[in-house]
Amino acid sequence: MLQTVSLACRRGDRRLFSNLSVTVRPGAVLVVVGENGSGKTSFLRMLCRLLAPEEGTILWEGTDIHHLKEQYSAQLTYIGHLNGVKDDLTAVENLKFNASLNGDRASDAAVQDALELVGLKQRVHHLPTKVLSQGQKRRVALARLWLSSRPLWLLDEPFTSLDQAATVLVTERLRFHAERGGLAVVVTHQEVVLPSGMAQRLRLDG
């Protein structure tokens, strides 16, 4: 269970949000919406400990994430608005390095399966990602979701530059994750089509 208790965020002089308390239970997907500059990304970066909250605390299973440190990092998969994909490495190499750095084992076969599932054909698996299109690069980044067995997913605008088919694939994956009892926080401008009991909406007004 992920909980925020009266969280506040300030960027420069502007107060983006304050007194924000939400609870995400296993099996739920928190969809964060709001205008540009309303603090959605800041909120997500707080949840993954990249940004320290101005006020308030974030609790994971009842413990402050600032005490859990790396133990908390081991619970989450974060995909930011930057892909975190190296241009000079192939899609397979990128995913394999990412998995081994995070202490997850991923065989070549598992990585290739993940890439297939996110809709990338065999012929692009061994190309340097710099020759791929934006949407294909985004798919390489999102393929990590098919390799991740972590309970908490934090996704920042996962659907940008994806086509309709890939959007459906990722949404399906999110649903599967939630059905297995996982948690997710998704920042997005697009409508996420999830069963009503599963999706939880949070609107940031800025």
Residue placing its CB nearer to another protein in the complex, 82 or 109: 82
**Cβ(47)–Cβ(40) below 8 Å:** no
**Cβ(164)–Cβ(57) below 8 Å:** no
Task: Report if residue 82 touches another protein, rule: CB under 8 A.
Answer: yes
CB atoms within 10 A of CB 69: 10
d(CA 47, CA 85): 22
Indicate the DSSP class of residue 127: S
Nearest distance in Å: CB 179, another protein: 25
Helix axes 91-101, 108-117, angle to 10 degrees: 120
Question: Segment contacting another protein (CB under 8 A): 27-35, 66-74, 114-122, 170-178?
Answer: 66-74
**Cβ(64)–Cβ(120) below 8 Å:** no
Task: Report if residue 12 touches another protein, rule: CB under 8 A.
Answer: no
Task: Report if residue 50 touches another protein, rule: CB under 8 A.
Answer: yes
**Where in 84-143 is the site for another protein (CB under 8 A)?**
84-89, 93, 97-98, 100-103, 128
**Cβ(24)–Cβ(168) below 8 Å:** no
Determine which residue in the list 19, 21, 23, 71 makes contact with another protein, applying CB under 8 A.
71
Determine which residue in the list 12, 52, 149, 164 makes contact with another protein, applying CB under 8 A.
52
Q: Which residues bind another protein (CB under 8 A)?
A: 48-52, 70-71, 73-74, 76, 78, 80-89, 93, 97-98, 100-103, 128
